[in-house]
Amino acid sequence: MRIRIMTVLAVLGLAGLMATTGCSLRQSICGSDEYPVIAVGPQGGSSCVPDGQEPSPPYVRYPEGKVPQHVDDEWDVYWRTHGIDENNNIIDR
């Protein structure tokens, strides 16, 4: 019984710490000093580029408002079936 109480208290403490520090269990697409980019063409692919640096070919920035931030978020899932063509149009894969 004592172990169960200690486990519950530990979980509650961790949850409280996460809530107060803004910590998230979701994995970020890129590191804190990077942003995600997508490869041009139907094959797609993504990478991360340091903040302040422009992507080099074949990569381009994601369209504004459609940038994935976390693994399995709305835009990460969306870009698994879509890509960007050479004219920056969204295409189906």
Q: Is 74 inside a domain boundary?
A: yes
Give just the sign of the alpha carbon dihedral 39, 42, 43, 46: positive
State the DSSP H helix or E strand holding residue 19, giving kind and residue range, or none if neither. helix 2-21
**pLDDT score at 27:** 97
Task: Tell me which residue range forms the domain holding 61.
Answer: 26-92
Report the number of distinct structural domains present in the chain. Answer: 1
For the range 86-90, what are the long-range contacts, defined as Cβ-Cβ under 8 Å and sequence gap of 24 or more? 86/40, 86/41, 88/60, 88/63, 90/63
> What pLDDT is stored for residue 63 in this prediction?
97
Q: Which pLDDT does position 25 carry in this prediction?
A: 82
Q: Is residue 88 part of a domain?
A: yes
Please list the ranges in the chain whose pLDDT falls under 50.
17-21
Q: Is residue 87 part of a domain?
A: yes
pLDDT score, position 19: 47
With contact defined as beta carbons under 8 Å apart, do 79 and 44 qualify? yes
**4 lies in a domain?**
no
Q: Is residue 21 part of a domain?
A: no
pLDDT value, residue 22: 52
Supply the pTM of this predicted model.
0.72
pLDDT of 32 reads: 96
Structural domain includes residue 12 = no
For residue 21, what pLDDT is reported? Answer: 44
pLDDT score of 20: 43
- Does some domain include residue 13? no
Q: Is residue 16 part of a domain?
A: no
